[in-house]
Structure 1
Amino acid sequence: MSGEQTPGLDPASLHFITRRVSASERAAVAVVLAAQLAQESAQLGAAPGHGTSAWQRSQRPLRAPLVPGLGRWSRPEL
Structure 2
Amino acid sequence: MAAIQYFWRHPLAEQVRKEGRLEGAVEMTLNILEWRGVPVSDAVRHRVETCTDEDLLKLWARRAMDVSDAEQLFTAE
The question of a shared fold, defined as TM-score above 0.5 by the shorter chain, is answered with no
Structure of greater relative contact order (alpha carbons < 8 Å, 6+ residues apart)? 2
* Shorter-chain TM band: 0.3 to 0.5
More helix, by proportion: 2
TM-score (norm 1): 0.35
TM-score (norm 2): 0.35
